[in-house]
Structure formats: C-alpha cells, structure tokens
Amino acid sequence: MKINNDVSEDVSIDVKIGQAIKGLRTMRGYTRDEVAIALSISHQQLAKYESGTNRIAAGKLYALAKMFNVSSDYFFAEIEGEQVKNRVSIPQKEQMNFARNFAKIKDKKKRNIVKALVQILAE
C-alpha cells in the first residue's frame, strides 16, 4: 500500500473536515463558544479547526461526534465523495432556521405534529 505524501491533499482534507464541523455546528444551532467550551479549547482554536488552518486531533473529533450524536465517519464522508446525511439540496441557512425553530417547541405533542407534517410533505 502506497501512502500519499501530497501536502496539498492533506490540507484539502483538513479544510473539508473543518467545513463538516462548522456545518454541523451551525446546523444544530451551537455557537463557536459553546462548542469550544465543551471541547475545553478556545473559540479561536475551534475557528482554526473549522477553517482547516489547524488539524483537529482524533480525540477532539470523537468528542464532537458524541456531542452532536453522529458517527465519527460523518466528518469524512465528503472526502470519500459521499453525500453526508442531512445535507440535501435545501439551503443550509434554511435548515438551520428550521432546526432552531423546531428546538424552541417545548410541547412534545406539537413537536410530533410538526414531524408528522414534515414527513407527509416530504413524500
């Protein structure tokens, strides 16, 4: 097995992982500060991870996966050319707004009604 020593490819991978982190964070409605506190890092460090400037450690990536309740392969799916779950043609800002508003619904019965309605409309 040959290992690729192309530095530009490594940087590209770091950028894609960073984009996945930022996308997931914003889609779930978390601020950079909230996630940074959960990871015991500064918000500046998280910004560097999200931009691909700094490479994120495996342990931090695992902690993010646990925090957002996703599989750790979520962050690598676009690298392999796969479509990441939850990233469909709906604009990301629209998804974020929907998720934030849905999270504000405290009544479980109302949340279930909204979920059922969305499922019906999506068919």
Based on the fold, state whether residues 45 and 79 are members of the same structural domain.
Answer: yes
Based on the fold, state whether residues 92 and 103 are members of the same structural domain.
Answer: yes
Q: How many domains does the chain have?
A: 2
- Label residue 69 by pLDDT band (50, 70, 90): confident
| Surface-to-core class of residue 46, CB atoms within 10 Å of its CB (0-12 exposed, 13-18 middle, 19+ buried) | buried
Q: Is the Cβ–Cβ distance between 75 and 18 less than 8 Å?
A: no
Q: Is the Cβ–Cβ distance between 24 and 5 less than 8 Å?
A: no
| Domain extent at residue 115 | 88-123
* pLDDT value at 56 more than 60: yes
* pLDDT value at 98 more than 80: yes
pTM of the model: 0.61
Based on the fold, state whether residues 5 and 47 are members of the same structural domain.
Answer: yes
Based on the fold, state whether residues 60 and 108 are members of the same structural domain.
Answer: no
Based on the fold, state whether residues 37 and 63 are members of the same structural domain.
Answer: yes
Based on the fold, state whether residues 30 and 77 are members of the same structural domain.
Answer: yes
Give tens-digit pLDDT for 4-17: 555 556 668 999 99
* pLDDT value at 35 more than 90: yes
Q: Measured between alpha carbons, how far is 15 from 55 in angstroms, rounded to an integer?
A: 9
Based on the fold, state whether residues 65 and 104 are members of the same structural domain.
Answer: no
